[in-house]
Amino acid sequence: MEWELVMGLEVHVELATKTKIFCSCTTEFGGAPNTHCCPVCTGMPGTLPVLNKKVLEYAVKAGLALNCDITRYNKFDRKNYFYPDLPKAYQISQLYLPFAQNGAVEITTRSGKTKTIRIHEIHMEEDAGKLIHSAYGDATFPDYNRCGVPLIEIVSEPDFRSAEEVVAYLAKLKSTFEYLGISDCKMQEGSMRADVNLSVRPKGSDEFGTRTEMKNINSFKAIERVIAYESARQIEAIEKGEKVVQETRRWDDNKGKTFAMRSKENAQDYRYFPEPDIPPISISDETIKDYTDSMPEFSEAKVIRYGEQFGIAKADAEIIAGSKYLAKLFEETVAICNNPKEVRYWIMTQIMYFMNERGVLPENIKLDPKKFAQFIEIVAADRINKQTGKQVFEEMFFADADFDVEKYIKDNGLEQVDDSDAIREAVAAVFAANPATVEQYKNGQTKVVGFFVGQVMKQMSGKAKPDTVNKIVGEELAKI
- From the list 67, 21, 56, 68, the residue with the least C-alpha distance to 298 is 67
Please give the average per-residue pLDDT across 168-186, as a whole number. Answer: 96
Q: What is the pLDDT of residue 13?
A: 97
Please give the average per-residue pLDDT across 146-157, as a whole number. Answer: 97
| Statement: residue 235 has pLDDT above 80 | yes
Helices (H) and strands (E) in the chain, counts: 16, 16
* CA dihedral of 403, 407, 413, 418, whole degrees rounded to 10: 110
Please give the average per-residue pLDDT across 315-341, as a whole number. Answer: 97
| Statement: residue 132 has pLDDT above 90 | no
109/171 Cα distance (integer angstroms) = 10
How many CA atoms does the CB half-sphere of 342 hold within 13 Å? 23
The pTM score is 0.86
DSSP designation for 243: P
Q: What does the pLDDT look like over 247-282, one tens digit per residue?
A: 999 998 889 999 998 776 666 788 999 999 999 999
Secondary structure percentages of the chain, helix, strand, coil, to 5? 40, 20, 35
Angle made by CA atoms 407, 413, 418, in degrees to the nearest 5: 120
Q: What is the pLDDT of residue 266?
A: 67
Alpha helices, H only, 381-448: 386-398, 405-411, 420-433, 435-442
105/177 Cα distance (integer angstroms) = 13
Please give the average per-residue pLDDT across 136-148, as a whole number. Answer: 89
Sequence length of the chain is: 480
Please give the average per-residue pLDDT across 402-422, as a whole number. Answer: 87
Kindly report which listed range (24-28, 44-48, 381-385) carries the lowest average pLDDT score: 381-385
Share of the chain above pLDDT 90, in %: 74
103/432 Cα distance (integer angstroms) = 73
Angle between helices 324-337 and 314-321 in degrees, nearest 10: 110
